[in-house]
């Protein structure tokens, strides 16, 4: 079975992460430090942001739910399309298309993904700056997949824009979905509000050890970005032959397509060929039938491309 439904690094995790986990095993008999200061320091240096402006979490999704539950009781606007994780974290949010900035409200919390989930499209920097600088309310930007791209993180704006909060994740890029490590970055005023409400021990000792080892492996990071860019380009060219499928130009490690066939039937058809893909039909902001899948290794991508041609071109 090939899993194209999970947008995790096709290279897996860095080799050093396994050694780090083994080396930390004897520490599981002790409580971790409350706020994982060693990991905060490591990530602050890695992302070039102040450590004092960072909260760690059990993945970016956990931090989304924490923020929605404990930090923001007011109105929320979710820019769509948006992922299921964002919809579950902010179930009562008003939904506004990301490509209609004139409809974005000035007040309340604005939540968006960059690059977009599920389309993989980047938001132009002028539009991002407008979202942050021209609003009265806070802006939460989820950058969980930005490490797969050459985009610059908006976290560099947090010190100059006190209304900005940025989510980062190590889960997908470093192949650690089973360990869960994420971070929320913001200015001093937000940290003063968030820290007293934060539950302790969000990152265990094994996750911390693996994360610290992962971010030190620059070769793994470079190889991952090079592989994803090359394979995304190759796969995007292949799927242009699929009749009745319109693909967005993704910059990250997944592709999204609006299709003219029932997405449930297409998903089941691939499943019968032992290939898992996603069905995005019905997701707010997605019009019509839509599917998505990850970018993986060449051999895996070839199998997906050939199956897709059989479904969309030979029928």
**Under a CB-based contact definition with an 8 Å cutoff, are residues 84 and 281 in contact?**
no
pLDDT confidence of residue 106: 87
**222 burial type by CB count under 10 A (0-12 exposed, 13-18 middle, 19+ buried):** exposed
pLDDT confidence of residue 53: 92
Q: Please report where in the chains the tokens 């902010």 appear, as a residue.
A: 90
Q: Which domains does the chain have, with CATH numbers?
A: 2-9+219-312 (3.90.1150.10), 15-215 (3.40.640.10)
**Taking the model in full, what pTM does it have?**
0.95
**Under a CB-based contact definition with an 8 Å cutoff, are residues 164 and 132 in contact?**
yes
- The Cα 62–Cα 64 span in angstroms is 5
Give percent of the chain with pLDDT exceeding 70: 99
pLDDT confidence of residue 296: 97
pLDDT confidence of residue 135: 82
pLDDT confidence of residue 35: 87
**Under a CB-based contact definition with an 8 Å cutoff, are residues 214 and 170 in contact?**
yes
pLDDT confidence of residue 313: 87
**Under a CB-based contact definition with an 8 Å cutoff, are residues 171 and 181 in contact?**
yes
Q: In the chain, which residues have pLDDT < 50?
A: none
Closest of 63, 289, 10, 315 to residue 185, by C-alpha: 63
pLDDT confidence of residue 315: 55
Beta-carbon neighbour count of residue 48 at 10 Å?
A: 9
- The Cα 270–Cα 292 span in angstroms is 12
- End-to-end alpha carbon distance in the chain: 23
């Amino acid at each position: 079975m090939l899993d194209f439904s999970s947008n995790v690094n096709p290279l897996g995790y860095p080799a050093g992460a396994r050694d780090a986990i083994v080396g930390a095993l004897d520490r599981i008999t002790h409580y971790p430090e409350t706020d994982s200061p060693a990991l905060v320091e490591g990530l602050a240096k890695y992302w070039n942001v102040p450590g004092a402006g960072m909260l760690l979490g059990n993945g970016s999704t956990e931090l989304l739910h924490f923020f929605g539950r404990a930090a923001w009781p007011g109105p929320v606007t979710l820019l769509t399309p948006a992922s299921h994780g964002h919809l579950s974290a902010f179930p009562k949010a008003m939904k506004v298309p990301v490509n209609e900035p004139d409809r974005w409200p000035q007040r309340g919390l604005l939540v968006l993904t960059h690059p977009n989930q599920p389309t993989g499209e980047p938001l132009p920097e002028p539009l991002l700056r407008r979202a942050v600088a021209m609003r009265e309310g806070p802006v939460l930007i989820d950058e969980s997949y930005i490490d797969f791209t050459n985009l610059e993180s908006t976290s560099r704006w947090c010190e100059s824009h006190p209304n900005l909060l940025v989510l980062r994740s190590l889960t997908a890029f470093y192949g650690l979905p089973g360990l869960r490590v994420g971070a929320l970055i913001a200015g001093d005023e937000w940290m003063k509000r968030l820290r007293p409400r934060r539950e302790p021990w969000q990152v265990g000792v094994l996750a911390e050890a693996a994360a610290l080892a992962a971010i030190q492996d620059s070769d793994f990071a470079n190889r991952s970005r090079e592989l994803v860019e090359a394979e995304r380009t190759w796969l995007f060219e292949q799927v242009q032959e699929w009749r009745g499928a319109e693909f967005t130009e993704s910059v990250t490690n997944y592709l999204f397509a609006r299709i003219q066939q029932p997405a449930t039937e297409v998903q089941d058809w691939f499943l019968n060929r032992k290939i898992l893909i996603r069905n995005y039909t019905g997701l707010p902001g997605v019009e019509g039938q839509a599917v998505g899948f990850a970018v993986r290794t060449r051999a895996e991508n070839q199998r997906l491309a050939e199956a897709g041609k059989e479904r969309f071109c030979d029928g």
